[in-house]
Structure 1
Amino acid sequence: MPDIPWSTPTQAAPDAEVYVMASRFETATLAGAVKFFLKAPGIILQIRKAPGAHGVALRARVFSRTFLTLSAWQDRDALYRFARSEPHRSSSRAASAYMKESAFTYWTVRADELPLTWAEAERRLAEQKPDH
């Protein structure tokens, strides 16, 4: 399945520190993966319009039932405002019914280090213990 490549909704000042989140989601079933995949474009569009969003990408492995997200934000509050807003809030609650496990990691980088690499996100996620 195609990935949604990195896009930059709003450019941060090159020397600004940005808040980064990487996540990994594994669905319990292929049907759950399809549901997750079908919701993803709408959530990516929501991020692209969200105040304080500096970057977003999705790596979708539907047949492996695994999804990675990578996003950069003005600060932690901007990320949390987005997470509590619709449609993300309702979609994430609904996804919990078909999720097998998930993992999240957060760090900061200078804006001139964007876009981030999947290798860096995967390395950091590998250090996290999954949530069940």
Structure 2
Amino acid sequence: MPTLPWTVPNTPPQDADVHVFASRFETRTLWGALRFLAGTPGVWRQVSRAPGAYGATLKAAPFKRTFWTLSAWESPAALKAFARSGTHAPTARGLGTQMRDAKFATWTVRADELPLSWPEALRRL
């Protein structure tokens, strides 16, 4: 699966501070990676309509059982609301036993720094 392009659900105000969230997930097995891939379209649709989402992208290396997400949000609360609702919540819970490792990073950027860069996200992870 190629990298999903940066998607902009909502345009941030020009002078806004933006909450950035990056993640790296590694599944225990190839079956876990396939389950992660199977859940991706539903979660991707959810993020494309999520209130407070300013952008998102995903990198996948399924044969290496590794996935990265990078997203920009109006606030930590907007990210939390997304993560605890819709398709994301049950998908994430269902994958919990499949995960070997997970890493997360958060930081703040100005709205004019969007879209975010993968090299910066990977460095922070």
Q: Which category describes the TM-score, using the shorter chain as reference length?
A: over 0.9
Aligned to 1:44: 44
Q: Figure out how many residues of one structure are paired with residues of the other and give that number.
A: 125
Deviation at residue 86 of structure 1 after TM alignment: 2.0
Normalised by the size of structure 1, how large is the TM-score?
A: 0.92
| Residue 74 (structure 1) aligns with | 74
CA distance in 2, matches of 1:41, 1:22: 18
RMSD: 0.7
1:33-72: CA deviation from partner (whole Å, max 9, x where unpaired): 0110111121111011110000000001000100000000
> Residues of 2 paired with 1:52 and 1:4: CA distance?
20
Unaligned runs of 5+ in 2: none
Report deviation, 1:15: 1.4
CA distance in 1, matches of 2:26, 2:5: 20
Identity %, equivalent residues = 52
Alpha-carbon deviation of 1:2? 1.4
The letter for the 1-side match of 2:57 is A
2:85 aligned partner:
85
Matches of residues 18-37 of structure 1 in structure 2 within 5 Å? 18-37=18-37
2:8 aligns with 8
1:13 aligns to what SS in structure 2?
Answer: coil
Name the SS for the 1:97 alignment partner.
Answer: helix
Structure-2-length-normalised TM-score? 0.97
Q: What is residue 59 of structure 1 aligned with on the other side?
A: 59
* Corresponding residue of 2:119: 119
CA–CA distance in 2 between the matches of 1:32 and 1:123?
25
